[in-house]
């Protein structure tokens, strides 16, 4: 399986997801600013992968803090600067803030210790975040595989696969685990305009595993959900509110409504770190707005007239009433989500 992000010789190495599937190129980030840029320009993307990158970015920042910054007070200021820079990259995926907070807690726990020890602990923690993420995805896969109907098609939106995590994936983890359990399924991948994560990343990833995959454009989803061919929908999430409302890649909401209309279960697969129980409902989730060029251009080629007015929200919020279940590493939550999600984290 593809290595999405690694820590190699004191640097962060990630596959460049803006170039896939045409080129398999790896980018080396040697500073926390490099990591912040890679998150912002989506060299690395997907909520859990962004979290791992942020954790490694914090470790990298402290590892390379200049010798003049090493007295305790200056290092504290430097740490704040590193965390603020990484936190300002993308607003929606809560895993980013979860990972930064986790690194802040580790930093606080080694306050006053020699710089070598502070650095060792931060690197160790960042590597742990990565290792844990792979294990969490496997557990999500196991918990979700039983829900996938055999001999049917699974529809997915965006890329919630190995590329969106440290490995294996959340939604694609459920699909992988169902296949490993012997289920005969195939996948329909929405292309996912405008960034084309479905066409470029999900199809590429599933092809490598030999899982039969069919690419459809986003506006075909309703047609196929009505056909009786789709056994379930499985998607990932960027942030889940306490009431079970789910922020995920724009277009997810339309798929969820069409799934419910046609009696197809709509499942969300996500780690506990994607829950934001501090938000009562999805209305409070910040939605990232991205550049107009993502909509007016495809691979650098203009497809809309000069001067076109564009809206480009990167995510939408699916109300909990459309979600048949939320699959996590701790188990499967069902409505009413206020209770079931709280139970999973306790
Ligand atoms: O803008 P992206 O590509 O970072 O958005 C990714 C998604 O919306 C994924 O579905 C979500 O992060 C879950 S990834 C396991």
Q: What integer pLDDT is reported at residue 19 of this predicted model?
A: 97
Mean pLDDT of 307-331: 98
Q: What integer pLDDT is reported at residue 67 of this predicted model?
A: 66
Residue pair 80/104 in contact (Cβ under 8 Å)? The answer is no
Indicate if the pLDDT at residue 159 is higher than 80: yes
Sheet holding 315-318, edge to edge: 275-276, 239-241, 246-249, 315-318
Out of 133, 190, 238, 316, the active site residue is: 238
Ligand 1 mutation target, pool 92, 249, 253, 318, most atoms within 8 A of CB: 249
Percent of the chain with pLDDT over 70: 99
Residue pair 62/122 in contact (Cβ under 8 Å)? The answer is yes
Report the C-alpha gap between 152 and 162 in whole angstroms.
22
Using one digit for the tens of pLDDT, what is the confidence trace for 83-118? 999 999 999 999 999 999 999 999 999 998 999 999
Active site residue 9: no
Query: Ligand 1 centroid to 114 CA: how many Å?
Result: 38
Using one digit for the tens of pLDDT, what is the confidence trace for 24-67? 999 999 999 999 999 999 999 999 999 999 999 999 999 999 76
Domain architecture of the chain: domains with CATH? 5-138 (1.20.120.420), 142-345 (3.40.50.10470)
Residue the block writes with tokens 């993308």: 90
Q: Taking the complete model, does pTM exceed 0.75, yes or no?
A: yes
Q: What integer pLDDT is reported at residue 66 of this predicted model?
A: 76
Residue pair 267/327 in contact (Cβ under 8 Å)? The answer is yes
Residue pair 45/197 in contact (Cβ under 8 Å)? The answer is yes
Residue pair 121/106 in contact (Cβ under 8 Å)? The answer is yes
Indicate if the pLDDT at residue 73 is higher than 90: no
Sorting pLDDT into bands at 50, 70 and 90, what band is 203?
very high
Indicate if the pLDDT at residue 259 is higher than 80: yes
Q: What integer pLDDT is reported at residue 69 of this predicted model?
A: 58
Residue pair 13/27 in contact (Cβ under 8 Å)? The answer is yes
Query: Ligand 1 centroid to 79 CA: how many Å?
Result: 27
Cα 13 → chain centroid = 18
Which residues contact ligand 1 via a Cβ below 6 A? 45-48, 93, 158, 160, 164-165, 170, 197, 235-238, 248-249, 314
Residue nearest (by alpha carbon) to ligand 1 atom 15: 160
């Amino acid at each position: 399986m593809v290595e999405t992000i690694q820590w190699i010789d004191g640097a962060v190495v990630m596959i460049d997801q803006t170039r896939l599937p045409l080129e398999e190129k790896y980018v080396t980030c040697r500073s926390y600013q490099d990591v912040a840029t890679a998150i912002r320009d989506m060299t690395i993307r997907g909520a859990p992968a962004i979290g791992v990158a942020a954790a490694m970015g914090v470790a990298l920042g402290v590892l390379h803090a200049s010798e003049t910054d090493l007295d305790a007070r200056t290092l504290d200021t430097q740490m704040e600067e590193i965390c603020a820079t990484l936190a300002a990259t993308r607003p929606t995926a809560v895993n980013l803030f979860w990972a930064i907070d986790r690194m802040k807690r580790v930093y606080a726990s080694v306050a006053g210790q020699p710089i070598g020890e502070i650095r060792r602990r931060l690197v160790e923690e960042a590597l742990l975040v990565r290792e844990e993420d792979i294990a969490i995805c496997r557990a999500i896969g196991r918990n979700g595989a039983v829900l996938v109907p055999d001999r049917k098609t699974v529809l997915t939106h965006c890329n919630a696969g190995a590329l969106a995590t440290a490995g294996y994936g959340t939604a694609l983890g459920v699909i992988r685990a169902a296949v490993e359990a012997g289920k005969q399924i195939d996948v329909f991948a929405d292309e996912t305009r405008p960034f084309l994560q479905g066409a470029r990343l999900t199809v590429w990833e599933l092809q490598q595993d030999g899982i039969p995959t069919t690419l459809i454009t986003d506006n075909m989803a309703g047609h196929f959900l009505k056909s009786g061919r789709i056994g379930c929908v499985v998607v990932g999430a960027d942030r889940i509110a306490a009431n079970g409302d789910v922020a995920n890649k724009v277009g997810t909401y339309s798929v969820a409504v069409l799934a419910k209309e046609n009696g197809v279960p709509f499942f969300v697969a996500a780690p506990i770190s994607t829950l934001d129980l501090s938000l009562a409902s999805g209305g409070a989730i910040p939605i990232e707005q991205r550049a107009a060029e993502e909509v007016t251009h495809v691979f650098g080629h203009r497809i809309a007239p000069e001067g076109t007015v564009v809206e480009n929200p990167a995510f939408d919020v699916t109300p909990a009433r459309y979600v048949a279940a939320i699959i996590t590493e701790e188990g499967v939550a069902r409505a009413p989500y206020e209770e079931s999600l709280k139970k999973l984290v306790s």
